[in-house]
Chains A and B, each alone.
Chain A
């Protein structure tokens, strides 16, 4: 068996293996399925916090010839996003380096606004929702899908992997983020003046050998990377012994025939009056 190696630069069509994996996994169908029934050709969509644009690209396909505008504060993500739509021959998606708290669009321009795993990282939920509301037309809709970390699981847990999720939550919270915001979307949307809030929930389930390898690599990168564990130890969110135990548990989990991981998400679609 050959180990997947993401640390080695291995480019296909200019994309790293990791990016190609994101292209396959983070699609509009998989991550914005709750919103797709509301999309139709000709609508203008804002994808705020678009990252590498893999979901934006799917949204652009759903509304073509309507426009999709993706905004992200990281120029490197915007470069990737532009390559994704270029590769797929899409000409109705445009990407901008910008801040979701201060969007560079005129009032009432968009029919639909979308975000995925964005509100969990933005400290001031009310402010970002007010700004998104500003750029939506009256009658426009907002769709968001955000993690519920406490309802997510790695199984078997070996009595210790839950601690990795706790560490993740502590670090997100330390940056004034909201790791459980997926279950609080309805309240936030109502408070921001949106109406007809339809809340749903779903899991991303990882179970195939490729899925398990993917989660294992994510764990290495997020929970077990030296800079993360050092930070967690420094802020008292973990100890060296605990990090070693989590690392051992993930090695056992990867080899376990019953290995599954579920990431819980809250979703909501709401109207802008």
Chain B
């Protein structure tokens, strides 16, 4: 994810700007980290350069489904 995206990405729930926390980057590309929504205290993960901006309850559902599929 390019750092410039911070100017347009918002929390899907509150529509407020997000805080970028970088764990791994290459140039202006953020490869791993998260986007923090302060108002709802939620971290949207950035993995392999792709931010997951599904609302929190959908991320929880995905995680549950993923663990079922892997079982």
B54-67 toward A: CB 8 Å interface, digit per residue (1/0)?
11001000000000
A82 touches B50 (CB 8 A): yes
A96 touches B58 (CB 8 A): no
A82 to B17, CA, bound (A): 24
A102 touches B50 (CB 8 A): no
Contact count A vs B, C-beta below 8 Å: 50
Q: A73-B58, A94-B5, A99-B12 are in contact. Are A104 and B53 (CB under 8 A)?
A: yes
Q: Which residues of A contact B8 (CB under 8 A)?
A: 105-106, 109
A97 touches B5 (CB 8 A): no
A99-117 with Cβ < 8 A to chain B: 99, 102-107, 109
Interface size class of B (residues with CB under 8 A): 10 to 19
Q: How far is the CB of B1 from chain A (nearest CB, A)?
A: 8
A79 at the interface (CB under 8 A from B): yes
The count of residues in chain A whose C-beta lies closer than 8 Å to any C-beta of chain B is 18
Q: Which residues of A contact B53 (CB under 8 A)?
A: 96-99, 104
Q: Could you say which of A75, A105, A109 contacts B50, with CB atoms under 8 Å apart?
A: A75
A265 at the interface (CB under 8 A from B): no
A78 at the interface (CB under 8 A from B): yes
Q: Which residues of A contact B15 (CB under 8 A)?
A: 106-107
Q: Which residues of B contact A75 (CB under 8 A)?
A: 50, 52
A102 touches B51 (CB 8 A): no
A95 at the interface (CB under 8 A from B): yes
